Amino acid sequence: MINLKVILAISKKEFINRIKNISLFILIFILAILSLAISYFGTSPFGLTGYHGTSVTIASLMSLSIYLIPLISFILGYDSITGEEEDGTMPLLLSSSASRSEIYLGKFIGLILVISIAILAGYGISGIIILLKENASHIIDYFAFIFSSILLGISFISVALLISSFTRSRTSSITISVFLWFFYIFIYDLLLIGILVATKGKAVFINNAVIGGFLLVNPADVYRLFTISFIRGLKGYYGLTSILTGKFILNRFLLIFVYIMWIFLPMFSGMFIFYKKRY
């Protein structure tokens, strides 16, 4: 039987440990400054200057989120378990009344709280600007963007904890984390584009459903599709994604299901590995 009090106690400990990380505050500061610049001083990726509405702002902030939020998540979670092992505190933690599942869930919840606060702090200033300039419907769109960004952070927290559960050192954990961040954010979509260019989109196995399916394998692409499906006006700025995937992949229920899978499959996999791990 899982003890909720034990989980909350471990979550509190994990939360306190993570907010002491100076690199976290640096990344939050960078996120806040860049989001402020995008929201108020211009949307240069689209050749515009000044504030040009919620859709343009969110489209630009999405690009920022895809780079920084997974990076922050990996920095938070890569040593959550391996750090305890290297510091020699894991055997002490396991000798307490807490079970392995309670330890894992406690760490997971603590990290979720940290990444959620980091995103809210980073994008809070942009939200104030939109609040002052737009009506209620656009503010709801911005809240939907924040919610989607938090889900992106949680999905990568789940992956980071999975990595930390099967590695034995901080070095190996951070190496795998950096590789996956680089692969998902930079390489993966380039590979898909390369396939389309090489085959000119005419290969038998290349069609909208296949490309859409490949996009769902990348949590960063799921984030992009999920946000586009919920916020009006974004499809115009991500036309290629909309054309390639079609209406089926932009189905909200499908994307919610995939997002849930990206959060819980790595979480349960990591929990199982941690449960079987010998110390």
Q: Which residues of 4-14 are buried (b: 16+ CB within 10 A; e: fewer)?
A: eebbeebbeeb
Q: What is the pTM of this model?
A: 0.89
**Long-range contacts from 175-178, C-beta under 8 angstroms, 24+ separation:** 177/74, 177/78, 178/74
- The one-digit pLDDT tens for each residue of the chain (279 residues) are 788 999 999 999 999 999 888 888 888 888 888 888 877 665 554 455 555 567 778 888 888 899 999 999 999 999 999 999 998 888 888 888 889 999 999 999 999 999 999 999 989 877 777 777 766 667 888 888 999 999 999 999 999 999 999 998 999 999 999 999 999 999 998 888 887 777 765 654 566 667 778 888 999 999 988 888 877 666 555 544 555 555 556 678 888 999 999 999 999 999 999 998 876
Q: Are 55 and 140 in contact (CB under 8 A)?
A: no
